[in-house]
Structure 1
Amino acid sequence: MICQTKQKFKAAYTNNNWLDGSKGNSIKVGYIWLRGQMETVRWHHWVWNSLNIPKHSFISWLTILGKLRTRERLGMVGICSDTSCLLCTSGNDSCSHLFFQCEFSHQVCQGVMGWFHIHSNSRENLYVHWRKWGWKFKTKYQQQVAYASLAAVVYHIWRARNNALWNQIVLRPDLVIKQIQVDVCIRMKAKLSNRWSERDKTWAASLMV
């Protein structure tokens, strides 16, 4: 494996200089060169936001890629015949329906948006919600809290969906909202630092539950 990697990196050297000789070599530069050009996505700000709880980021990442193992996706490969939504039964169990066409997820999303004083009655998709939550807040830390909350919404809706699948119990939306608020508040307290302005600290204190 080491020899194979060495052979690959030989292509980047000319007369013992790295690439055109204008930059020194480093692990970071070498990794970027080896990886090659990759598409830049707009949603990385909220999916990989540093304030997110890691498991929330992972589920959000799978969601945005459409890779969650929903009934609709499993049905496409012949594993599942019933593709109905487990939370509202009025649509298909798919990423596009769960976030946020489903009545259950819509209520959860509206509840968390109300917590942030964001008002919207329409059933907008996840991409629109990400843009809207980012536009609402102007400071970096307030945006990070909002994005962490959106990731928590995605995670807990998926968790509620799995609970309905395996335990045949649909949780009440208000209980899910409460758990999202608790998760976000614990995360805020853990990440609170002197770099936060007094304005941001006051705003964060107003959200504490």
Structure 2
Amino acid sequence: MRPKPTTIGRFLVTGPYSSWAWRKICEVKKRLKLGYIADKWRGTDEDYTISDGYKWLLSETTQKVSWARIVWNRYNLPKWSFIMWLIKHQMLLTLDRLKKMGLDVPTDCYLCGVEAETHMHLFRTCTFSKRCFQLLYSWLQIPVDILLDTDCILKIRRLSILVRQVILAAIVGVHYGVWQSRNIGRVEGYVTNPTHLVRLVQVDCRRRVASEFKGSMTNFDKTWCRDHGLI
């Protein structure tokens, strides 16, 4: 299919520069121009900064979400955060979504082979993910129903900030592992052992604590991390 031409200023552009991404860039550029009044950024003598530009662009559309601190947790691996962001937006290409797109794909979950694959099934009701969260409970000693309610963990005051962040990172890591195992099952035809999955999450959390934490730990944090094999 021939790319749709795009008009930029007085020029008609075709080819790769007429892509959706390029059109979006041009739209943002046009919006930013509205921020200049009499050739001054927001009509003041302040210099333009990228951070200020983002805040100005998002000032009318910004909406706080309860899961932001979970997805962008400092102890997450970047790939964990990205997959969790897609999960929160229901944007993973699960089999039910692929069906709606008109693709001829099976409907049964690649991990359990019992129910149809949806976001809810994959990360909540699938026997594979349930087993992963049971193993997470055995490690962290946090009930499964609380592990599945990440907002609840943020409200547990008896836990320190570091402990809450590590627990949330482990939960996000398991979500990433479930999705990765699903993809392996789809491509390779075998299912990862849940014990192996959670063990990898433990190793990655240990590395993140070692690399991300700056400063001295409190006695509570030291004891908790030591008891859970993180230091």
TM bracket, shorter-chain basis:
0.7 to 0.9
Pairs within 5 Å for 1:24-173: 24-27=46-49, 28-37=51-60, 38-120=62-144, 128-136=148-156, 138-173=159-194
Structure-1 separation of matches of 2:66 and 2:153: 14
Shift of 1:86: 0.8
Query: Cα deviation per residue 1:121-163 (whole Å; 9 max; x = unaligned)?
Result: x5x8x8x521233334632111110111111011101111111
**8 Å contact kept, 2:115–2:121:** yes
- TM-score, structure 1 normalization: 0.84
Query: Cα deviation per residue 1:16-50 (whole Å; 9 max; x = unaligned)?
Result: 665475x9444122331133422221101010111
Structure-1 separation of matches of 2:94 and 2:167: 26
Q: Which runs of 4+ in 1 moved over 4 A?
A: 4-10, 13-18
Unaligned runs of 5+ in 1: none
Count of residue correspondences: 202
Structure-1 separation of matches of 2:29 and 2:85: 33
Bigger radius of gyration: 2
In structure 2, the partner of 1:205 is 226
Structure-2 separation of matches of 1:112 and 1:95: 20
**8 Å contact kept, 1:70–1:95:** yes
Query: Cα deviation per residue 1:147-202 (whole Å; 9 max; x = unaligned)?
Result: 11111011101111111111111122212121111111121122233243232122
**8 Å contact kept, 2:206–2:229:** yes
Higher relative contact order (CA 8 A, sep 6+): 1
Structure-2 separation of matches of 1:161 and 1:7: 42
What is the letter of the counterpart of residue 131 of structure 1? Answer: D
Structure-2 separation of matches of 1:34 and 1:44: 19
**8 Å contact kept, 1:185–1:207:** no
Pairing partner for 1:11 from 25, 29, 34 = 34
**8 Å contact kept, 2:74–2:212:** no
Query: CA RMSD for the aligned pairs?
Result: 2.6
Instruction: Pick closer, same or farther for the CA change 1:71–1:95 going to 2, 3 Å.
Output: same
What is the letter of the counterpart of residue 78 of structure 2? Answer: P
Identity %: 29
Instruction: Pick closer, same or farther for the CA change 1:100–1:199 going to 2, 3 Å.
Output: same
**8 Å contact kept, 2:132–2:194:** yes
**8 Å contact kept, 2:109–2:116:** yes
Structure-1 separation of matches of 2:29 and 2:113: 55
What is the letter of the counterpart of residue 56 of structure 2? Answer: W
What is the letter of the counterpart of residue 179 of structure 1? Answer: L
**8 Å contact kept, 2:66–2:151:** no
Unaligned runs of 5+ in 2: 1-7, 9-25
Shift of 1:12: 3.2
